Structure formats: C-alpha cells, structure tokens
Amino acid sequence: MARYPHILFDLDGTLIDSAPAILASFRDAFAQTGIAPVRSIDESIIGPPLLETLQLLSGSQDAALTGRLADAFKASYDTEGYKATAAYAGVGALLASLAGAGLTLSIATNKRIHPTRLILEHLGWHTHFAHVYALDLFAPRLPDKAAMIGRLLADQAIPTDKAIYIGDRSEDGESADANGLPFIAVTWGYGSIQPTEMAAHWRHAATPEALGRTLLAD
C-alpha cells in the first residue's frame, strides 16, 4: 500500500502547460482595455493568482483598473482561451495509474475554480480528482495556497501523515511545509524552482513516470 494515499497536486506548470493560453489571454486583456503592460508578458509571470499578476503587469494597485483587466482576461480565457491548454506528456497516464491504484487525488491551485473545472473536463481528467480546491472556491477568498491546502485537509479529514503535495514552484514547497506535508517538486514545468534551490527535505521528479514510481512505491 502506498505510503501517501492522498495525493494533492498543483495544476499550472505541474500537470498542464497552460502558459501559451494564459499569456495569450493576458495580451488580449491589455489590448482590449488599451492599457500598456509595464513588463514583459512571458512565462515568468505564470503561477500567482490573477489579480496579483495583473497588478504586477500593470504596475498599478488601482482596483478599477485591475478589475477592467480581470474582466477582459476572463472573457478571453474562460470562453476559448483555456482550450489551448496542453497536458504535459505522460501526465494523463500518471493520473490514471494513481487513481487506478486506489489513491485519492486532489487539486489545490491558485487558478480560479471556474477555468480549473473547465480544463479538467476538457482534458478528460475530472473523474480522477475527488477534490478540487482554489482560492476563490470560498467567500471570502482564501488568502494563499498554504491556507487552501490547510482547508482541504481539514474539510476532507485527511491526516497530514497520509498526504503529500506535488508542485513546481518554491511557493508550493513552502505551502506544503506550512501544513506539515512532504513535498515533491516536478522539474518538467515552468516553475522557478530548480533542484539546487530546494530545501534539503524536498524531493524532486524529472518526469511523470519517475513521479509515479515514487508515489506508488512510498
């Protein structure tokens, strides 16, 4: 029996290459509103929540301005943009094998809940996941990923010694640490984390196949 029967996953950069679709919709949002971004719209901005990213790109904390950008982004991404999302090679087989082994899979993502559900349905993965959590799943919105993971564990009565978090960024590892969960960093995504930058107690996986072997053997 696997050591960790509950596997919690980040989404962007971990299971899916959502960068092309997200970046296209960010560019659409700035073009539609006539606002000029103050920094390059490239893969380095992928990961944080939408409003935080829009504040970074616009160089503004003005709620009305970022609200206009957010509305334009959602209009682009939530209709057609999300359909350009691609699964990383091998991830579909990984999820099927983990679910087939009787493990309980969950999503804990900074992505908004609506496009998260659309993407899981689009990729045919929605049946693999028992729980899908996002910051905006609740009102008031959860403050950060660490709080979201804590909420998922509490809501679903998941013991911390029976769960593990999988992600691609330092924030993911730190959020796992905050909840007493072990962490495996995937290094195939576009997250900023590299093996040489990881905390000593974190592990890493270079391919979905390697990750699957680790999770099924633990």
DSSP string, 24-75: HHHHHHHHHHTPPPSS--SGGG-SS-HHHHHHHHHT---HHHHHHHHHHHHH
Q: Are strands 163-167 and 6-9 parallel, antiparallel or unpaired?
A: parallel
DSSP string, 94-110: HHHHHHHTTPEEEEEES
124 token code pair: 């045919």
Give 12's DSSP letter. Answer: B
Tokens of 162: 């029976």
The DSSP bridge pattern shows strands 86-87 and 129-134 to be unpaired
Annotation says 144 is catalytic = no
Set 10, 17, 168, 172: catalytic member = 10
Which residues are the active-site residues? 10
